Amino acid sequence: MKNFNYRKLVLMLADIFIIVVSAILLNFILSVTKVIGPESNRYLLSYIVIYLVTCVMMMLAFGSYSRMWRYFNVNDYILTILAMTLGFATGYAILKILGVPTRLVFTGLYYICATLGVVLFRFFFKQTFLVIAKATVSENYDRTLIVGAGQAGRMILKEIENARFDPNNPSSNILPICFVDDDQTKLHNVIKGVEIIGVTADIPKICKEQGIDSIIVAVPSCEEEEKRKILEYCSATDCKIKIVPYLGELLFDEKHTQLITQAQEIKIEDLLGRKPIQFNSKQIQKFIKDKVCMVTGGGGSIGSELVRQIAKYEPKQIIIVDIYENNAYDIQQELLLTYGSELNLVTLISSVRDYDKMDKIFNEFRPQIVFHAAAHKHVPLMETVPEEAVKNNVFGTLNVATLSEKYGVDKFVMISTDKAVNPTNVMGATKRACEMIIQNKAQNSSHTEFVTTRFGNVLGSNGSVIPLFRRQIESGSPVTVTHPDIIRYFMTIPEAVSLVLEAGAMAKGGEIFVLDMGAPVKITTLAENLIRMYGKVPYKDVEIKFTGLRPGEKLFEELLMDEEGLKSTANKKIFIGNQIQVNTDELNGSLGKLKDAAEENDSDKTVEVLCELVPTFNHNTN
């Protein structure tokens, strides 16, 4: 297969055979049928020689022998027909010039027979070749398409070739079939026996035609939008997909000597249309190192990632506070397994709603930095029990913030949500109330710097749509989306946590930090792409059912209130909302009434007072 001249010679000999046999067979048929009569053997030999030379020369000129057998397509067949047509026309003219008697009818029939034979040979040979290739290649081999025929794609192809000699190499089972590249000048070029046969838009068609099992996306320097588009084409196939990371994320050291080993499975966040947010690790290191750090809700999806990242920056001590023992135990064991005795870790099962217990914890451990992640976050569930959302979110936050001030905590970082902006649900309203509490504390605190971080939906977090969609797809159930047009801003858990850490590091007190999360994502599109990633077809293999907006749910989330405005920071992806003054007396009065309503478990009264406390709360949107 690697010897190009050998392949060209075989195909050329096949064409010569077909052109010669077509003339002999046609003449025999005409002699038997006697419809128009055969040509004399004297002239027949001249016809064969002249037409053979002109047709082969034309096919050489049209590149009919430059294509690999397995890649013949409609355009190649058309070019072959055109070459044969011009070959016969040229041959006919030469015969006339030489004075050889010719019959136009015979020439026409000869042209049809020879051209049909040449084209059919190519078609059936391609099909036979593909069948034989699939039969002779072990099922353990992945027929692979490589996206990008640049330097990265060539490196991957070379690594695959080298891996063939090492059965222990995980890349030894990869069989490169073809390239695709959007650079039209590269089309039909051959790299180490592998041809560039199309552009990225052709990926679904090529994968189907060539029986592709896997796709490797090797375009580490492409823009975010271009990468998102490529992944959309890839996710429209049934293939396994791996992606070479962006150039800035590639590693080449003693442990990472190959590019292909750094190719990663496609993740849903790859479809968000932007690069991962970069953060200032040196600034975070200075912020965390040798400090006693407390994380409330430390067993949750955000809290546990906070603990993981804090542990990397050499804190003096980490205190995990969580009411749910299973989650707290999981992150505790994970960190003990990773760091052993090197990490000073304390795990406490306690509720932020219990002021006295939290007071004992603060008094004993004297945290210097507090990350407040404990909260009820499920929008529909909080609609049914607003008093519980208030007790946990509002007064749990008030307890921890008050104790932070009492015990001289250096920085208090609260995690909020975009649902706090012009809230239409109880959960969002309670988080806006928390923001007001923290801003008020910042106005009046003499030592502790209080700060809020606000971001959108977090992929993979508890309550995120992604785990729900995955469960539905894996169980064969319809994927449920509330509305066809609903959109959300998304970020990854590590991004969310890095924002929290960097915001804490740069905070001076009172700020609400907002992340530029790129373009919002349509939830329906997210569901469709996730279904495709499972190798299924949306609406055909997996139904998408629209269930209607839930109580308190918006079609569009906002990240900023009208009066907040934006100020830039050193990180171009992080902005600061202007601090809004909160009247202390009014806030305390409203909190007193809210506490009474919640402790009486009066849901209606709780919502009523919450509307008074948060003027932007519109509970009747839906």
Q: Which of 207, 270, 219 is nearest to 244 (CA)?
A: 219
| Residue 419 appears among annotated catalytic residues | yes
Half-sphere exposure of 363 (CA within 13 A, CB side): 6
Residue with token string 């059912």: 545
**E strands within 172-211?**
174-180, 190-191, 194-195
Q: Which of these, 394, 401, 505, 415, lies nearest to 447 by C-alpha position?
A: 401
Please give, one letter per residue, the 3-state secondary structure of 317-386.
EEEEEECCHHHHHHHHHHHHHHHHHHCCEEEEECCCCCHHHHHHHHHHHCCCEEEECCCCCCHHHHHHCH
Say how far apart CA 401 and CA 393 lie, in whole Å: 12
Those residues with Cβ within 8 angstroms of residue 330's Cβ, 6 or more apart along the chain or in another chain: 299, 304
- Which runs of E-coded beta strand occur in 184-291? 190-191, 194-195, 214-217, 240-243, 264-265
Q: How far apart are CA 121 and CA 269, in angstroms?
A: 47
Distance between CA atoms of residues 334 and 327, nearest Å: 11
Exposed (0-12), middle (13-18) or buried (19+): which is 308, by Cβ within 10 Å? middle
* One-character DSSP codes across 94-143: HHHHHT----HHHHHHHHHHHHHHHHHHHHHHHHHHHHHHHHHS-TTSEE
Question: What DSSP character marks residue 165?
Answer: T
Q: Tokens in use for 598?
A: 């919640």
- Rounded distance, CA 424 to CA 318, Å? 36
End-to-end CA distance of the chain: 65
Alpha carbon distance 193, 28 (integer Å): 42
**Residues 358, 322 contacting (CB under 8 angstroms):** no
- From the candidates 391, 419, 431, 554, give the one annotated as an active-site residue: 419
Active-site positions? Answer: 419
